[in-house]
Amino acid sequence: MLNWTFRELISAPQQLLASVAAVAGAFALVLFFEGVFAGESDQIVALIERTEGDVWVMQKGVGNMHMATSFVSDWKIDAVADVDGVEKVTPILYLNSAIEAGGRNWFSFVVGLEPGDGRAGPWRHAGGAQLPGAGTAIVPDIFASDAGLSIGDTVRIAGRDFAVAGFSGDTFSMANSITFVTIDDLADTMSSIGTVSYMLVDAAPGVDPAILANRIMGEVEKVNALTRAEFAARDYSIAVQMGLEIVWMMTLIGGALAMLLTGFIVHSHISERERELAVMKALGVRNSAIYGSTMLQALAIGALAFLLAVALMLLAIPLTQWLMPKVSLAMTGEALIRTGSTALVVSLVASVIPVRRVLSVDPVTAFQQ
């Protein structure tokens, strides 16, 4: 039976290759959309996840960073630092703003850092100064390339000019970019002297961040405190609601089309062998063996298509980064498991339908055709 299964699978190699390629293309498209969704999602919360800090403290009533505004009086920095279990407090100022450069406007998260303190600053240096100085900004390297910016050129943030002092890496995506300036310059630009937006708090060794967050809220008035994981999760949720759901919808549509195409191709492959299956039944081959043979062929088609789709995706990642550096692309294990499982399940279901039809009729009819 295994010999027949293998012979039937490769009896028409060109047809098999075309079938596998078609299904692989559909699932590669799904993996690509999944990759865009994962990559852009990671970039949305990159600042939170790449910045050290066990607890984030912000204005009471605020629970995220994306498209949010938080103002906390700067005297509360000392108040938070005095809470038992706090080892270090790093304040930052934050602004959602359009940046004018190269004759275009770019949306960016603008982060104000304390002079010389890179704790909340760029996590990957890409040229020039590593940290901003007075009147200067560190901008994403991809943003600078698109806008034709060089060291010393000017960008305009919220109506104020800043000189480009350096470039950061891994701080740009279709959803947002991240620009760094000094906290004093941003406070002057925002007319918010005496306030900060967020405080990054390090917990002392052995102190649970969740317990420390509750302690801060209990001892410092009118602030909210969240662990880094909880803060990132909330920010991710808000970001998805505000735009990434479009990418997610495209992923679902692509997945549905891939399932339909997989089902059609596998169904066609098995249906073309209905007469052989009927003859096998007439010769006394057990139904379970026929089911097993056809399901094995379907699994082989689905597995080969999935492996080819993964290979195409591995090729697409560096090509996308080269041709479209603005697009953040990532391939996750969760996406691979979900897509691979879908390919195999749909292949199995599609193979069962024609076999059931053959086994439900009189096998003698196979000799009358």
Tens digit of pLDDT for each residue in 158-174?
889 999 999 999 888 77
pLDDT top residue among 284 and 233: 233
pLDDT, mean of residues 118-141: 91
**Is the pLDDT at 365 greater than 60, yes or no?**
no
pLDDT at 356: 67
Phi and psi angles of residue 335, each rounded to the nearest 5 degrees, phi first: -65, -40
pTM over the 0.85 mark? no
Helices (H) and strands (E) in the chain, counts: 12, 12
Band of residue 282 on the pLDDT scale cut at 50, 70, 90: low
Each residue's pLDDT tens digit, 244-256: 566 567 667 766 7
CA distance 152 to 167: 11
* Average pLDDT score over residue span 141-151: 89
Across the chain, what does the average pLDDT equal? 81
H or E stretch at 313: helix 287-323
SS (H, E, C) 211-278: HHHHHHHHHCCCEEEEEHHHHHHHHHHHHHHHHHHHHHHHHHHHHHHHHHHHHHHHHHHHHCCHHHHH
Residues of the chain with pLDDT > 70, as a percent, come to: 78
Q: What is the pLDDT of residues 92-115, one digit of tens each?
A: 999 988 888 878 788 888 999 998
- Span 129-158, mean pLDDT? 92
- What pLDDT does residue 115 have? 87
Residue 233 reports pLDDT greater than 80: yes
Token pair listed for 163? 């000189």
Which residues 6+ apart lie within 8 Å of 302 measured at CB?
A: 23, 262, 266, 343, 344, 346, 347, 348
Q: For residue 48, what pLDDT is reported? A: 86
Is residue 71 pLDDT above 60, yes or no? yes
- Which residue do the tokens 């991240």 mark? 178
**pLDDT of res. 26:** 79
Measure the CA–CA gap between 56 and 26, rounded to whole angstroms.
42
Question: What per-residue confidence (pLDDT) applies to 304?
Answer: 85
The lowest-confidence range among 74-78, 173-177, 192-196 is: 173-177
Q: Which among 179, 184, 213, 189 is positioned nearest to 199, based on CA atoms?
A: 213
List the chain domain ranges.
2-44+244-367, 61-221
pLDDT value, residue 363 = 56
pLDDT at position 319 is 83
